[in-house]
Structure 1
Amino acid sequence: MITTERLELRRFQPEDAAAFSAYRSVPEVARFQSWNAPFSPEEAQRTVARFAEGDPLQPGWFQYAIALDGQLIGDIGLNTFDNLMQADIGYTLAPEYQGKGYATEAVGGLLDQLFTVRELHRVSAEVDARNVASARLLERLGFQQEGFRPQNTWFKDEWTDDLLFGLLQSNWRSARSAG
């Protein structure tokens, strides 16, 4: 569906379930996400099957599989608004692939497609303020922090602070043309 220098963003496949279950079962990966570890193989099979049915061109959530040499290493969630001009994103990467530029490459590849092919106006992301690595990834890609909401979300039995990020198509294009 989308290829970058090293990665492929594609539809989920049944054979992704084992790797999906493995990285979603790591407590550090699940810490800032909506699920709890462990993530059972049975739940992974059901979730992968549901993800495979989605349509990235329609409003609502679509989950891209991030593959390196055919192997699932993470995923990116895309929530396209009803107006088809805005979207929210979220992403997860297996720990052994973190810190190697794969998440930046994958999210950047998706943004390029969203802004240049689909011509979206805006992409947003919300991050737990403690997830410094995720906030830095967004900033590397040109997102601007647009808000800070202290103790805004009751999440996993505690109040958490939220950081709000946004990126406009015009800023994405300007950054790409500048270098």
Structure 2
Amino acid sequence: MTLTTERLALRRFRPGDAPAFAAYRSDPEVARYQSWEPPFPLALAEEFMREMAVLDPAEPGWFQYAVEVDGALVGDVGVNLRENRRQADIGYTIATAHQGNGYATEAVGLMLEHLFVERGLHKVSAECDARNEPSAKLLARLGFRREGHLVEHTWIKDEWTDDLLFGLLAREWRPIGRIR
């Protein structure tokens, strides 16, 4: 399955994506609010590509989509389909060199359209580190409502962090202009 807009594509990862994947995940700015530590080894990226190749995005659990712009891997969008197949969690990462161009908003918006319109999901949720203002603004821009603030909820990278919780119902979803 490939989803496209005029500027980007969401597609399955390919083995050749491993070097670019490892490179942007090795960037300390990209990894700052994520669960991994830089550097992100190429061998781990290659293993990730093999894992994604055998997963079915229609089955419950996490599935990562590659975000491609002009033939280059610039990030990823992850979807965690819940067991009931009516709800999902979403996450996203864009390489630093490609941030500020609207790619994350466009990629997540495209995925939301797919999940709500084509797959019939009822709700999509997201969470982010409370210090990650760009991520919180992206979610608000896409129509997510802030549903919670968990104080010192996650122990990550040797510190307690606050988490912001967001949700969006199918009936609230409004596609952004570039998707249609």
TM-score normalised to structure 2 length: 0.95
Provide the identity percentage: 60
Q: CA deviation at 1:176?
A: 4.3
Residues 10-29 of structure 1 show CA distances to partners (whole Å, capped at 9, x for unaligned) of 00000000100100000111
CA contact (8 A) 1:104 1:137 kept: yes
Comparing 161-170 and 51-60, the one that deviates more: 51-60
Report matched runs for 1:24-39 at 5 Å.
Answer: 24-39=25-40
Q: Tell me the distance in 2 between the aligned counterparts of 1:144 and 1:156.
A: 27
Matched, 1:8 2:36: no
> How many residues get paired?
175
Cα contact 1:144–1:166 (8 A) shared by 2: yes
Contact 1:148 1:164 in 2 (8 A): yes
- Show structure 1 runs of 4+ deviating over 6 A: none
What are the superposed Cα offsets for residues 121-147 of structure 1, whole Å, 9 maximum, x if unpaired? Answer: 000001000000000000000000000
Match of 1:19 in 2: 20
Unaligned runs of 5+ in 2: none
Match of 1:156 in 2: 157
Q: Check conservation: 1:54, 1:63, Cα contact below 8 A.
A: no
- Report the AA paired with residue 83 of structure 2: D
Pairing of 1:59-74 with structure 2 (within 5 A): 59-74=60-75
- Do the aligned partners of 2:109 and 2:175 also contact (CA within 8 Å) in 1? no
In the TM superposition, residue 159 of structure 1 has moved relative to its aligned partner by 0.4
Counterpart for residue 49 of structure 1: 50
Counterpart mapping for 1:116-155 below 5 A: 116-155=117-156
**Counterparts of 1:92 and 1:127 in 2: how far apart (Å)?**
12
* Aligned-partner Cα distance in 2 for 1:144–1:18: 36
Q: In angstroms, what is the RMSD of aligned CA positions?
A: 1.1
> Structure 1: 5+ residue runs without aligned partners?
none
Give distance in 2, aligned partners of 1:52 and 1:12: 7
Deviation for aligned residue 1:52: 2.1
Question: Normalized against structure 1, the TM-score is what?
Answer: 0.95
Q: Does the 8 Å contact 1:128/1:162 carry over to 2?
A: yes
Q: Does 1:170 align with 2:177?
A: no
